[in-house]
Structure formats: C-alpha cells, structure tokens
Amino acid sequence: MADRKRGGGAADADRTEDRKPQSDEARSAFTPPLGVPLPPVPEDDHPTSEFAVPEGIAPESGAGPEGSAFTLPPGTAAPTGPQAVAYPAFTPPHGIPKVSLTKEAPWQDRMRTMLRMPVGERPAPERAEKQDEPGPPVPRVLDLTLRIGELLLAGGEGAEDVEAAMFGVAHAYGLDRCEPTVTFTLLTVSYQPSLVDDPVTANRTVRRRGTDYNRLSAVFRLVHDITSRGLTLEEAYGRLAEIRRNRHPYPGWALTAASGLLAGAASMLVGGGVVVFLAAAVGAMCGDRLAWLASGRGLPEFYQFVAAAMPPAAMGVAISAGHAHVQASAVITGGLFALIPGRALVAGVQDGLTGYYITAAARLLEVGYLIAGIVCGVLVVLYGGVHIGGGTLNPEAALERQERPVVQIIAAMLLVFAFAVLLQQERHTVLTVTLNGGVAWVIYAALADTAGLDPVPATAIAAGLVGLFGQLLSRYRYASALPYVTAAIGPLLPGSATYFALLNFAKNDMNTGISSLTKAAALALAIAIGVNLGSEAARLFIKVPGGAATRRAAKRTRGF
C-alpha cells in the first residue's frame, strides 16, 4: 500500500512538472495558449532576414552569400600573423592608387608617399610571406623605431623626414598599420594589428639635442639598409649601438679653430682686411671657449649664447676705442655670423610649410630665445662701449665696402668650410657643400651687386638653388639633405643687418634699429623659404613610386 502511494505520488509529481510553465529560453510570450494548436514547424530552424529572396525567385547572377564588411574579396587568401593587413570597409570615391614600392627610389620618397596616404589606402608590403616564421616582436620594433627617430630629431632633421624614417623602419619589419607622430620633443608611434584589435602605443622624449651631421648621415644609412636590404632586428640594434658609441670626427680644438675661421671669413665678406680677419677670429675663439665653459657648468643654452656673443663685441669696441683705422663693425659682424641659428630657423620654417605647426612654432620660439641671448650679450658690450669710450662706432662705416669678387668668393667658401666643420659633417661632404656655398654666393652677388636686385629676393633665389642642389645630392647618395644645405647658406645669413639693428638700439635710435631688425628677419625668412622651395622643386626631377598621380601634397593643405 505504501508502495502504491509512493508510486502514485511520483506520477502526480511528474504530471505536476509537465504542467509547470517552461522557462523563457524555451517559451516566449507569443506561445499559443492551451487548447490552441501549434503552427507547423518550418523546415529551416534558422530565422530569415527581411532581405531574403522570396520563394520562387531565383537570385541574381553573381550574388554570393551575405557577408561582413571585413570579409576578404573572393580569391584572396587571408594573411596570417601580426603582419596581416586589414582591408578597408569601402573604396574611396577617388579609388585606391596603385603604389609600387620599388627599391630603386630613395626611401625618403617611398615612405613620404605612403605616409601622406590614409591608413586604409596604403598598399601591402612587397615581401615574401613565410608561414613557418613567427611574426615580428612588436615591442622591440616600436622601440627601435623610436630610438632611430630620436637620433634624427635630436640632430635637427625636419618632422616630416623623421616621421618618414620611423614609418619606413616599422613598415620594413611588418608593422603596416603604423602611425608615427613627431612633435618638438616627443615621439609617438602607434600600431594596430587590425580594425578589431587594440592598438599598441609607445613614446619617447628627446631630452638633449646636438649638432652632429656625421651621426645623422649614419642613421640615414641605417634606415636605407633596413628598408632596402632587409636587416634583421639584431643587426639593426647592433648598428644603432655603434652609431651611438661613435666619437665626433673633429676634436675640440678643431671646432674652436673653425669658429675663428668662420668669423674671420665673414668679416672679410663684409669688407674687412687681414687685421679685421685676425681680430674677428680671436674674438670668436674666445667666445667659443667661454660658451664651452658655460656649458660645462650646466648653464642653459640661452646664457651660452650670451657668453659667446660678448667677446667678439668687446673686440670690436676695443679696436674702435683705440682709434685704429680698422673696421670695428666688420669685426663684430663676423662674430655674429658664427652665432645666428640658421639651422634651427630653416628647420622651423620647413616644418611650418609642410604642415607640422606645433613643431614649427616650438622651433621658431627656440630661435627667438637664442637670438635674444645674442642680442643681450652684444647690447651689454655695445652699450658700455658707446657710453664709456667707444662712441666712434658708426653704423654707416660698415656699409662702405668695396666690391672684391675674388676675395669675397674665397671668403664665402672659407666660411662654408668652417661651418661644415662646426656641424661635424663627414669629411667627404665638406668639399661638396663648400662648392655649393660658393655657387650660392656668386648667384647672390650677381643679382644684388651687379644686377641691382633687392637683397631679399636675391637671397631667396640663392637659397633656393642651395636647397635644389642639396636635395638632389642627398637623393643621389641616399642621405640627409642637411649636410649639403645648412653650411651652404652661411654666407647668406643676415649678420650685418643684425649688427646694425643692435648698434642703433645701443645708440637709442629705435626707428633705424627696428628697420634694420625687420630687414634681418626678412632675409632670414627668405633663406628658409628659398631652401624649402628648392627642396620641393628637386622632387619634380625625382621619379616618384607610383607615378605623378600618387604625389600627395603636404598634410592639411588649404585646411582640408
């Protein structure tokens, strides 16, 4: 009896379980109530879309199954590994340009062409895929990219060329969806494996900057070998360590002698003789040693320029106070030629013209501070000399210069030679840049002195030829253009106009001083714009990968 009760209880429990409502996973609010027959079960359990083709209508020819925007085109094998390239979800209205990354073209032009393209339009790398090899170590590639960019930016290279070098290194090691960003002191590179993966970002800060074009050329050769010859990561790191350990090509005494030679040649360029040459050389060498002393004590660069500007000005004031028949103004002008930051000025204007406005503003602000240091150092000495005993300093005295074509051409070439040594250039580039500077001075003198053209357009034309020749030489040698350009613009720097402005300020003649300072600023901008225009014109003679259709303008052109 008990067994029957237990059996009946189990049966009642089973019936009770059957009468319990099913869970939401198996039953919805649209289930018919009890007593209403269920609709017939469809043959296909999968729900259909409202875009499905109705029954009895044949699909259009060529229509394939519905897919995703990330589906690869038919007949295309999906690449594997971290170097896989994600295809864009749509085709731009102007189409995707065909870019052939030929190894014959310089890496600067190949990488600049790709860098100016959106990420989705950049072509896949032309490399052999090896399925058995693992993908590149992303952190190490990004670290190498940042270290190379740091050396280039610290050496004074333009922001666009630094970005092109960083992109070329990352692209060579398989990181195609890579975006480098360069500002005045910060380098950032971001890599995203695909559209659905998280990006990897790394950055590096440039703490110290120095002028060493020998190291700059070595870094350019390293980037060329990475992008064209396929160096491994270990080989690239080894080469980079050697570049960092390399000593400067010229000793300290040679740099001091070069600064004296530069000042003496500049003084002869503006009308000085042998005595003026020696006085300007001694003043510049004393200023150089004083600047090194200030640097060794850890003083900022502003005070180093103040210290370097005082001895040449003191030498000129002393000669003027001694009533010697020597052009004291030429002595001071020669000393200023060695201090004007022409390299930073050209780089700042170039960054602004190519669309890197933050970096350009920072570089130009640095130029302003350095020029302010020169002004402070010279004005302190001139003010004391004018009011104590050097009142014979006359701004018009230096304007009475004689036209000495042979002497001036030799002086201009000596100035460029000394400037190249100060920039720590490689020895085989010194002769080339010296000839380039001599040609620039001949063009300027022919336009300004012989043809009577205004100095500002004459300076711009001469600087444009410097930029043109320098860019062509750099592409021929697969190197940076700075060693062929920076020293060559030395004879064109506005040293005399800057001195006239400072002397008039010291004599409390503000109107004439402002006029001279405005002329100096106009000449400096003419040099910078001329160099950049010549560099851009040089690219018209260089074969661009992919043809003229892929030649993109600089970023943010006309605000778009």
**Between 80 and 222, residue with greater pLDDT:** 222
Tens of pLDDT, residues 482-510: 888 889 998 888 877 887 788 778 777 88
Distances (CA, A) of 421 to 160, 184, 483: 26, 26, 10
Query: Are the C-beta atoms of residues 265 and 493 closer than 8 Å to each other?
Result: no
Distance (Å, whole) CA 448 – CA 456: 9
How much is the average pLDDT of 420-439?
Answer: 90
The length of the chain is 560
Lowest-confidence region among 22-26, 202-206, 320-324, 472-476:
22-26
Looking at residue 204, what DSSP letter applies? E
DSSP of 30-46 = TSPPTTSPPPPPPS--S
Lowest-confidence region among 8-12, 162-166, 536-540:
8-12
What is the predicted pLDDT for the residue at 36? 62
Closest CA to 158 of 339, 337, 353: 353
Q: Annotate 255-272 with b (16+ C-beta within 10 A) or e (fewer).
A: bbbbbbbbbbbbbbbbbb
Distance (Å, whole) CA 121 – CA 95: 9
What is the predicted pLDDT for the residue at 262? 92
Distance (Å, whole) CA 507 – CA 541: 51
Q: Which two tokens stand for residue 91?
A: 């085709």
- Residue 559 pLDDT > 50: no
Distance (Å, whole) CA 527 – CA 519: 12
Above pLDDT 70, what percent of the chain? 69
- Sheet containing strand 178-182, edge to edge, reads 178-182, 186-191, 200-205
What is the predicted pLDDT for the residue at 25? 44
Query: Domain residue spans in the chain?
Result: 138-247, 252-540
Query: Are the C-beta atoms of residues 479 and 509 closer than 8 Å to each other?
Result: no
Distance (Å, whole) CA 404 – CA 396: 19
SS3 190: strand
Which residues make beta-bridge pairs with 179?
190
Above pLDDT 90, what percent of the chain? 20
**Between 345 and 109, residue with greater pLDDT:** 345
Lowest-confidence region among 118-132, 260-274, 304-318, 508-522:
118-132
Q: What is the pTM of this model?
A: 0.72
DSSP of 378-412 = HHHHHHHHHHHT-TT--GGGGG-----HHHHHHHH
Burial of 221 (0-12, 13-18, 19+ CB in 10 A): middle
Burial of 299 (0-12, 13-18, 19+ CB in 10 A): middle
Q: How many CB atoms lie within 10 A of CB 291?
A: 23
Q: How many CB atoms lie within 10 A of CB 400?
A: 10
Q: Which two tokens stand for residue 479?
A: 């190197």
Dihedrals phi, psi of 435, to nearest 5 degrees: -65, -40
C-alpha distance across the termini of the chain, in Å: 93
Tens of pLDDT, residues 403-412: 788 889 999 9
SS3 179: strand
Distance (Å, whole) CA 417 – CA 425: 10
Amino acid at 147: R
- Residue 283 pLDDT > 70: yes
Query: Are the C-beta atoms of residues 77 and 92 closer than 8 Å to each other?
Result: no
Distance (Å, whole) CA 299 – CA 509: 32
Under the banding of pLDDT at 50, 70 and 90, the label for residue 101 is: very low
Counting other chains too, the contacts that 404-407 makes at CB distance below 8 Å and 24 or more residues apart are 405/445, 407/268
Distance (Å, whole) CA 188 – CA 186: 7
Q: Which two tokens stand for residue 350?
A: 């170039």
The position carrying tokens 């602004």 is 352
- Residue 558 pLDDT > 50: no
Amino acid at 495: G
